[in-house]
Structure 1
Amino acid sequence: MEAFADWLASSELGQYLLCREQAFFDRAVADAFGFRAVQLGLTEYDFLACNRIPWHGYAGPEASADVVCDAAFLPFDSRSLDLLVLPHALDFTSQPHQVLREAERVLMPEGRLVLTGFNPLSLWGSCRLLRGRRDAPWGGNFFAPTRIRDWMTLLQLEPTATAFMAYSPPFSRGDWLSRWQFMDNLGERGWSLLAGVYGIEAVKRQRGMRLIMPAWKPVKAGSGLAVAGGNERHPVKQSVQDEISHG
């Protein structure tokens, strides 16, 4: 993850990607409410900047983090966070399933999870196959978004939205990236498979108890007439009614 963070800061391709991911997170977290929000990883960049939750925390292996920890073993209480942001946390871990399980554990019911990941079914994925996995960012896991959504569903994390970004081929030179920026406009019109990165928003759904209602039986009408203005639950026999009327 540290090598990936350095690549974002030092390369023109990294700056291109960072700009688009920042825009995604700004939109995704803007309407999330609660009391506690945490960004896990890439703490040099503030992906919670547009969120209005009063308490923001930044955790991860970086020295710049407020809480230095492993993404697979979070030092937060269960059901303690309202928003959790994972920028490429599943890409740069050897335990992606465990990271998702920890995310589900620390989120409150109806809490929000927002993450990004590299799309293997893209030009970026093809470049990873050609260049090998030694250098950042090509050493990441590159899980398909459909696979991540399946994992989420098993953990009661309901995917609510998926976004795609970074449609330009992964050129290392900024002038070539500028020439191919028209791909971003084309991609947003329906070429999502070409996107180098996806973003997924999910909500933690808590399985609740099902309320079992009593099997009410309809009450059969009595043989008498009900007295209007009296207690309507108690019918009055006709003989009593006659006595009242002649009394």
Structure 2
Amino acid sequence: MHQRDDDIYASAPLRRLLDEQTRALTPELQRCFGTHGLLLRTSANDVPPALPMLGCWTSLRLDNGCYRGDLQAAMNEPLPFVDDAFDLVVLRHVLEVTPSASALLNDAIRILAPGGVLVLTGVHPLSGWAPWFYWRTRGKSQTLRMPLRLGHDLRQAGLEIERMQRVGRLWPGRETTGSTPASAFGGGYVLIARKRRRMIAPLRIKPMPVRVSSSGQLSPGTRRSSAL
């Protein structure tokens, strides 16, 4: 029987689920490129994935109402980054522990560059993991988010959903041999969305009238309709 502890994300079942989510995301993330990526995480042992086409990472952990890691900031304030700063933003189970999931999600979209990728992972609320999760957290403020609802919110914010999938085991249990494939009843989910690029309105070119020479000949490429 599992014992409850203070850090659920350090427990063996959650560590296995994090590994399974990483394996599911790796092929997609290998295609991400750019200069900066941001990882927001709940586990002290979680590290940014090695991506050959991404320049550098900023990694922050949510811990006791603060962001800690490459910098320190209060969790109840906006993320301390300028708009469009990151080509890849990864939120690893952080929507389950933040006091305002909608505010954090909006902030992640704000700092994501046009054309950039946003990745969300979490425990699925309609799974065998949900009762175990709430039991282990002793009914604290953690809230499990429906990925379908998150997808709807992201579309409303102008992002395109590229992948939404459940992964992992049906319920927390002992470690088994071999990898666990994606499952329609998996205990976790991965969601990948891309921020649309800004549309640039093309300039309307106004034809300038040209005067015909005394010989009546037009220069090559001159439109006859624009000649006076």
TM-score norm. by structure 1 comes to 0.69
1:142 alignment partner, one of 141, 144, 156: 144
Instruction: Report the equivalent of 1:68.
Output: 72
Task: Give the number of the structure whose residues are more often helix, by fraction.
Answer: 1
Task: Give the number of the structure whose residues are more often strand, by fraction.
Answer: 2
Q: Residues 92 and 32 (structure 1 numbering): CA distance in 2 closer, same or farther, change over 3 Å?
A: same
Map 1:1-247 to 2 at 5 A: 6-9=7-10, 11-42=11-42, 44-52=44-52, 53-62=54-63, 65-69=69-73, 70=75, 73-128=78-133, 131=135, 133-134=137-138, 140-171=142-173, 174=174, 177-178=175-176, 184-185=180-181, 188=182, 191-192=183-184, 194-211=185-202
Instruction: Report the equivalent of 2:212.
Output: none
Alignment RMSD: 3.6
The CA deviation string for residues 182-233 of structure 1, in whole angstroms up to 9 with x for no partner, is: 9x45xx3xx51x11110111111144244476799xxxxxxxxxx9xx9996
Query: Following the alignment from structure 2 to structure 1, what is the Cα–Cα distance between the partners of residues 33 and 87?
Result: 7
TM-score norm. by structure 2 comes to 0.74
Percent identity among equivalent residues?
23
Query: Following the alignment from structure 2 to structure 1, what is the Cα–Cα distance between the partners of residues 109 and 151?
Result: 13
The CA deviation string for residues 53-111 of structure 1, in whole angstroms up to 9 with x for no partner, is: 12111123348611123276200111111111100111111211111110111111111
Cα distance, 1:13 vs structure 2? 1.5
Query: Following the alignment from structure 1 to structure 2, what is the Cα–Cα distance between the partners of residues 88 and 76?
Result: 21
Structure 1 segments unaligned to the other structure (5+ residues): 217-226, 235-247
Q: Report the count of equivalent residues.
A: 209
Does 206-215 or 110-119 show the bigger shift?
A: 206-215
Q: Which has the larger radius of gyration?
A: 1
Q: Secondary structure at the match of 1:35?
A: strand
